[in-house]
Amino acid sequence: MIEGASVRPTKKQKEMLEFIETFISIHGYSPSYREIMNGLSYNSVATVALHVNNLIKRGHLLKRDNSARSLEPIKIIEEELDGQGIHANDSAWMFQHIEVRFKLAEVEFKQDVVNEIYVLIGAIKVLGFPDQAMAFAARLRLLETAR
């Protein structure tokens, strides 16, 4: 599981995520730390780095190593399922979680993330999406052989 993924962002962190998402939608690439600092009226780049690192730890932001302008918000739908579990009509939610895990595995291959992907693929197959499950399984095999 993504470390801290169940922890909601603080007000300041949510503001930063929204700024990054808006910037990406306008420009097509992520903002630099200095652009975030100016856009959110912070006093230092160090403050931006602190917030970015915390968002990464909490599972709300992804950053590719050694790459400028590589911040990518991870959209995880936070809705209460009232203890009913995941239903077939929540397939988009499941697919989104699989995509998040793939992004993590592509940045840094970890066996526990791969195992989570296998479980999620099994879940969507059981929910009645065998074609999507087969597509994800093929993609996962490619990822495993590429490492």
pLDDT of 17-38, one tens digit each? 999 988 888 888 899 999 999 9
* Residue range 58-107, pLDDT digits in tens: 888 888 776 778 888 876 544 433 444 444 445 677 788 888 888 888 88
- pLDDT value for 25: 84
CATH for the stretch 11-73:
1.10.10.10
| Percent of the chain clearing pLDDT 90 (strictly above) | 19
Cα–Cα dist 72/105, whole Å = 15
What is the CB-side half-sphere exposure of residue 34 using CA atoms within 13 A? 1
Please report where in the chains the tokens 């959209």 appear, as a residue: 75
Cα–Cα dist 141/139, whole Å = 5
Looking at residue 131, the DSSP 8-state letter turns out to be H
- pLDDT value for 31: 93
Domain ranges for the chain, please list them.
Answer: 11-73, 88-146
Please report where in the chains the tokens 């929204």 appear, as a residue: 18
